Amino acid sequence: MRTIAAGIAVFVALVLAPEAFSQQLDVAARNQDVVRDNLAKINRGDVRGAASDWAEDAQNFGRPAGPERIQLVLEDILATFPDYHMEIVEMVAVGDVVVVRCNVTGTHLGVGKISVNGGMLVGVEPTGKRHEIAHIHWYTLREGKIVAQYATRDDLGMMRQLGLLTLPNPQ
């Protein structure tokens, strides 16, 4: 039933307001390009470029995080995991919102200095081990800039793969 209703809504939008519908699609496509480009910058270690994609009044997890803060976070992540990589698995956009499901990999070769990755790697000596975990990032954009981001990460899975968290041995 929802599929039929959604189909009718799209049909009505195309017939009654095709220009408005087309503009919404254009905004969503541009926003996907911004996020895709942002992740590509992170993957190649361009933290300054990636940080420049964020608005001055941006928020990360509901807290102020303009470009300067984002650059510090990315520098710490890349110092901790020099081969850090985010591979986009799926991306969906509607208007100003872009949601990305990705696989994240990295080898723990540095010591975290600020509370990122759940804050569990601050001061932790490198294990030399590699992790591969799932992330889901929810971005909101305005005028081509990221203004908000929330993410769900498998931090416990990362810690287990790095050998920093062991499960209790059932008796």
**pLDDT at 3 exceeding the cut of 80:** no
**What is the residue extent of each domain of the chain?**
2-161
User: 149-164 as b/e, with b when 16 or more CB fall inside 10 Å?
Assistant: beeeebbeebbebbee
Mean pLDDT confidence for 40-69 = 96
Write out the two tokens for 4. 């039929």
Q: What's this model's pTM, rounded to 2 decimal places? A: 0.82
CATH number given to 2-161 = 3.10.450.50
Distance CA 154, CA 133 (A): 6
pLDDT for the residue numbered 116: 83
**pLDDT at 11 exceeding the cut of 60:** no
Mean pLDDT confidence for 41-51 = 98
**pLDDT at 137 exceeding the cut of 70:** yes
**Nearest CA among 103, 156, 158, 155 for reference residue 130:** 158
